[in-house]
Amino acid sequence: MHGPVITGERVQLEPPRPEYAPAYIRWFADRTVTRYMFVRHPTSLRKQEEWIEQMAASPDDVLWAMTRVTSGELIGNVGLHKIVWRHGHGELGYVIGERDQWGKGHATEAIELATAYAFLELGLHKVTAQVIVPNEASRRALERNGYTQCALFRRDRYVEGHWHDLWVGEILREEWDARQEKAS
C-alpha cells in the first residue's frame, strides 16, 4: 500500500506517483547512489511503473516518496516492507536518490516519521533495518532514531570488490515509547 501524507520539518512522505518513475530509474543507474543498496540495477520505465502499482496493491508493504517540504522536490523513498502482521514486525528501507541532498538530515527525519507510523498506525511491535557496514551515515540515522544492533552478519555483502559485514538494527515499540516520553 502507499502510505498517507506525513509532513515533518524537512521532508514530506507522500504516496509515490507514476511520474516519479524516471527519477527512480536515474537513481538506480547511478552506481554511487546504489553502492550500498541490495537492488542495484536500473529498470525500464514500464517495470518501474509496475513496481509502484505493485507496492500500492501490496498488503505487506507501505511505500512513500520522500520530498523536500520547502520545494516539493522528490529526493528519495522510504518504506516498511515484508510486514508480518501475525508477529507485528516489518523491515524499514530507504534511499536518498538525489546526491546533493545527502548529509542534510532527510533520512533521519524520514526514518523517524516512518517508524512512528509503524508503531502508531500499523500497530507493529518491532521494526528492523539492514545496513552494509561501510554505509556509516545510514547506520547513524537509524541509531539517532533509537535502532540498536541486534545482529552482525560477517562478510555478508560483496561491494566494489570487497566483502563487508551487514549490520542489522531493530527498535521495539516499548523502546520507541520510552524515547517519546523522554523527548516530551
Q: Is 90 exceeded by the pLDDT of residue 8?
A: yes
Q: Is 70 exceeded by the pLDDT of residue 179?
A: yes
pLDDT (mean) for 39-49: 78
Q: How confident is the model at residue 36 (pLDDT cuts 50, 70, 90)?
A: confident
**Prediction pTM value:** 0.94
Residue 37: other Cβ atoms inside 10 A: 15
pLDDT digits (tens, 9 = 90+) for 124-164: 999 999 999 999 999 999 999 999 999 999 999 999 899 99
**Exposed/middle/buried for residue 107 (C-beta within 10 Å: 0-12, 13-18, 19+):** buried
pLDDT (mean) for 1-30: 93
Residue 26 CA from chain centroid, whole number: 18
Task: Say how far apart CA 76 and CA 84 lie, in whole Å.
Answer: 25
Q: How confident is the model at residue 40 (pLDDT cuts 50, 70, 90)?
A: low
Task: Say how far apart CA 5 and CA 117 lie, in whole Å.
Answer: 11
pLDDT digits (tens, 9 = 90+) for 113-124: 999 999 999 999
pLDDT (mean) for 36-47: 77
Q: Strand pairing of 126-132 and 89-96?
A: parallel
pLDDT (mean) for 87-115: 97
- Would you give the DSSP letter of residue 2? B
Q: Is 70 exceeded by the pLDDT of residue 106?
A: yes
Instruction: Please tell me which residue, 30 or 149, carries the higher pLDDT value.
Output: 149
